Amino acid sequence: MKANRARSRAFTLVEILIVVVILGILAAIVVPQFTNAANDARGGNIQTQLQTLQNQIELFAARNNGNYPDLSADWDDLLDGNYLKSAPANPAWPTAATRTSVASGDEGTGSEDAAWFFNTTNGTIYASYFDEETGEITGTATD
């Protein structure tokens, strides 16, 4: 008489460990890619906003005899004139409460005190903590 043994269909400990190690390796490769993708998306968002803001500033100047808006403390000139629907938010700015803050001056490309900086000498708007040449978010407010 033959004894019927029940065949075990479970995974062995070695097989489970191999799968866990493979999943760990894949996770180590994939997770950094998501971090880079998020920063790339923020950089693209800032570039798009900068182009839109610069276009609206130039439109304001064209309609106001070459005079640029006063962006020394707020966006009121552009908001009141219907050039912008709302104050733009700089996603690179570290403090959420002040992402729409703006400052201006006659030199520089960024500010430690405001998310946006308007250079009154050349009429150009800049995003603080963003390098336009590389399209990357930086750790410093000015280039």
pLDDT at 143: 47
The domain of 119 spans 14-137
pLDDT over 60 at 12, yes or no: yes
Instruction: Name the residue with tokens 């005190």.
Output: 113
Decide if 3 is inside a domain: no
Would you place residue 63 in the very low, low, confident or very high pLDDT band (cuts 50, 70, 90)?
very high
**What residues contact residue 13 under an 8 Å CB cut-off, 6+ apart?**
none
1 belongs to a structural domain:
no
Q: Is 7 within a domain?
A: no
Domain count, the chain: 1
Does any domain span residue 51?
yes
Mean pLDDT of 17-44: 89
pLDDT at 108: 85
Q: Give residue 42's pLDDT.
A: 87
- Residue 3 scores a pLDDT above 80: no
* CA–CA distances in Å: residue 19 to residues 14, 23, 29, 36, 91: 9, 6, 16, 27, 39
Residue 110 confidence (pLDDT): 85
pLDDT over 90, % of the chain: 53
Q: What pLDDT is recorded for position 113?
A: 87
Average pLDDT rounded to a whole number, residues 43-54: 93
105 DSSP β-pair partners: 119
On whether residue 143 sits in a domain, the answer given is no
Q: Do the domain assignments include residue 48?
A: yes
Assess if residue 122 is contained within a domain: yes
In a domain, 142, yes or no: no
Residue 130 pLDDT exceeds 90: no
